[in-house]
Amino acid sequence: MRLVAVGTGTVVPEGDRGGSCFYLEAAGSRLLIDCGPGALQGLARWDLPWKSITDIVITHFHADHIGALPGLFFALRHGAAPERGEPLTVWGPLGTGRLFSRLAAAVGDYVLHPGFAVRIHELEEGVGQATEGGLELSVRSTAHTEESHAVRIQGRDAAVGYTGDTGLPEGDARALGSFLGGLDVLIAECSLADDEVSDNHLSPRRLASLAGAANPGLLWVTHVYPHFRRRDDVAELLSTAGYEGAVRVLSDGDAWSGGTGES
């Protein structure tokens, strides 16, 4: 299994970080998790096989997580010679079908009919699904937007998960931590400092308690607002808040490999 942080930024534009996007490769699946602004440049920059993506997993509909979707389908339609024939499967929250219909109405039919089959599946909490390549997908609703969810992706011998954007209501550290428990890599947002965070995002103290419950092999910290990452050492704040596991505060292009490569 190979994981690449394609875009680790936020809603605030930055020269060195794109909007949220991760690339995951395992056996037959080449999967994007979110597709924020800058994703196409990131995929090209890190030499990732964007033309042969098999699946896209969407955590929620904020533009910093899905803004590059029309551009990706336009590129697959017109910029991917020789023409692509393989189907592409989109996994997203309830409302993903309607989102794609609206995108198609706004920018063009190629979003739904790019010259190959686009299959859209809406994921529901408690209902496991699997990609054609055999990755198991499950989701758990998060405190961010009406549709937002965290995602867990299980291969044969490695597993990763992503909080998407989320707050951490009372009791959720245990419940969300258990859903995201025992992962090789937990990708987690940490938007803002403890004294400036809103109800629908994580801060070091919240993330320390979530990650403490989830106990991942490696914690990948993403979606840190620019002023916060310039001002503070987020890894140190996590440690001060009591999280003792391995932490990497991400930059675009960071990568991880694990498992046997067969998963």
What does the CA dihedral 91, 14, 190, 232 come to, rounded to 10 degrees?
Answer: 170
Query: At which residue do the structure tokens 């001002």 appear?
Result: 231
Judged by CB, which is closer to Zn ion: 165, or 252? Answer: 165
Stretch that binds Zn ion, among 14-22, 59-67, 170-178, 253-261 (CB under 5 A): 59-67
Least separation in angstroms between CB 65 and Zn ion:
6
From the list 181, 142, 153, 144, the residue with the least C-alpha distance to 258 is: 153
- Binding flags for Zn ion, 3-42, as an x/- string (CB under 5 A): ----------------------------------------
Least separation in angstroms between CB 123 and Zn ion:
17
Are the beta carbons of 148 and 176 closer than 8 angstroms? no
User: Residue 201, interface with Zn ion (CB under 5 A)?
Assistant: no
CB burial of 36-46 (b: ≥16 within 10 Å; e: otherwise) equals bbbbbebbeeb
Rounded CA-CA distance 70/99 in Å is 11
Least separation in angstroms between CB 143 and Zn ion:
11
Rounded CA-CA distance 42/35 in Å is 10
Binding residues for Zn ion, rule CB under 5 A, total: 2
Least separation in angstroms between CB 165 and Zn ion:
4
Among 25, 122, 165, 172, binds Zn ion (CB under 5 A): 165
Least separation in angstroms between CB 162 and Zn ion:
12
Q: Looking at residues 74 to 133 of the shown chain, list those that interact with Zn ion (rule: CB under 5 A).
A: none
- Residue 174: partners with Cβ closer than 8 Å, 6 or more residues away: 213
CA-CA-CA-CA torsion sign (221, 222, 224, 226) = positive
User: Residue 62, interface with Zn ion (CB under 5 A)?
Assistant: yes
Judged by CB, which is closer to Zn ion: 93, or 114? Answer: 93
Stretch that binds Zn ion, among 32-40, 54-62, 78-86, 185-193 (CB under 5 A): 54-62
Least separation in angstroms between CB 198 and Zn ion:
11
Judged by CB, which is closer to Zn ion: 75, or 143? Answer: 143
First to last CA, the chain: 6
- Residue 34: partners with Cβ closer than 8 Å, 6 or more residues away: 7, 19, 20, 21, 22, 57, 58, 59, 65, 66, 162, 164
Judged by CB, which is closer to Zn ion: 135, or 202? Answer: 202
Which residues would be at the binding site for Zn ion (CB under 5 A)? 62, 165
